[in-house]
Chain A
Amino acid sequence: MNLLTSLLAQSDIPIVDGIPMPESSEIHEGSYWFPEQASTFAGDIDFLYMAILWISTLFFVIIIGCMIYFILKYRRREGVEPEPSSSHNTALEIFWSVIPSIILVWIFYTGAKGFFEMRVPFDDSEEIYVTANQFNWKFVYPDGDVSKELHLVVNRPVKLIMQSDDVLHAMFIPAFRQKVDIVPGRYTYAYLNPNKVGAYRLACAEYCGDSHSRMRTVCVVHKDSEDRKNTTKWENEKHPGWVNGERLFQINCAGCHSIDGSAKTGPSMKDLWGKDERVSDGSTIKVDENYVRESILEPSKVLVEGYGTTGTLSKMPSFQGKLSDAEIGYLIDYIRWLKDSSKFPARDELPPAQVAGETPGGETAAGESPKEEKVADDSAEAKNENQNENN
Chain B
Amino acid sequence: MATAAERKKLFGHAENNYLNCSKGIRSWLFTLDHKRIGIMYLIGVTLALFLAGVFALILRLNLWNNTSDLLTDAQYNQMFTLHGAVMVFAFIIPSVPAALGNFVLPMMLGAKDVAFPRLNLSSFYLWVLGTGFLLWAIVSGKGLDTGWTFYTPYSIQTDTGVIYATFGAFILGFSSIFTGLNFLVTVNTMRLPGQGWFKMPLFLWGLYATSIIQVLATPVLGITLLLLIAEKTMHIGIFDPKYGGDPVLFQHFFWFYSHPAVYIMILPGMGVISELIAVYSRKKVFGYSFIAFSSVAIAVLGFLVWGHHMFTSGQSVVVTLIFSAITFTVAIPSAVKVFNWLATMYKGSIALTTPMCYALSFIFLFGIGGLTGLFLGALSTDIHLHDTYFIVAHFHFVMVGGTLTALLGGVFHWWPKMFGRMYNDNLGRLSCFLVFLGFNLTFFPQFVMGARGMPRRYASYDPEFIPFHRWSTAGAMVLGFGILLAFGVLAYAAFRGRKVAGNPFGAASLEWQSSSPPDFHNFIHQPVLHDPYDFGSMVYDEELDTYVPKEFMEPDPQPVKEPEPQTQ
Contacts and interface: CB of A to CB of B under 8 A. Distances in A.
A–B contact at 8 Å CB threshold (below) = yes
Interface of A: 16-17, 19, 21, 24, 27, 30, 32-35, 41, 44-45, 48-49, 52-53, 55-56, 59-60, 63-64, 66-67, 70-71, 74-77, 80-85, 87-89, 92-93, 96-97, 100-101, 104-105, 107-108, 110-119, 166-168, 170, 172, 174-175, 177-181, 183-186, 188, 201, 203-214, 216, 297-298, 320
Given A17-B460, A88-B287, A168-B151, A111 B381 contact: yes
Contacts of B77: 207, 209-210, 212
Nearest to A96: B339
Contact of B336 (A32, A66, A89, A93): A93
Given A183-B247, A185-B247, A203-B455, A85 B347 contact: yes
Contacts of A16: 463
B252 to A, nearest CB: 13
Contact of B367 (A63, A87, A166): A63
A203 B457 CA distance: 12
A207 B154 contact: yes
Interface stretch (B33-41, B46-54, B175-183, B382-390): B382-390
Contacts of B317: 115-116, 119
Nearest to B328: A104
A172 B387 contact: yes
A104 B145 contact: no
Nearest to A98: B332
Contacts of A178: 383-384
**Chain B contact residues, majority secondary structure:** helix
B246 interface: yes
A80 B339 CA distance: 25
B349 A56 contact: no
A201 B348 contact: no
A33 B454 CA distance: 12
A56 B374 contact: yes
Interface residues of B, number: 95
B43 to A, nearest CB: 33
B386 A115 contact: no
Nearest to B282: A82
29 contacts: A21-B463, A33-B448, A63-B339, A64-B364, A67-B342, A67-B363, A70-B350, A74-B350, A75-B351, A75-B352, A76-B350, A77-B349, A82-B281, A104-B329, A105-B328, A107-B377, A111-B379, A112-B324, A115-B317, A170-B387, A180-B312, A205-B388, A209-B77, A210-B73, A210-B145, A212-B77, A213-B461, A214-B460, A298-B244
B287 A93 contact: yes
Nearest to A107: B378
B462 to A, nearest CB: 7
Contact of B154 (A92, A208, A298): A208
Interface string B364-382: 1001100110110111111
Nearest to B356: A71
**The 3 nearest A-B residue pairs measured at CB:** A174-B453, A185-B241, A114-B380
Contact of A82 (B335, B347, B387): B347
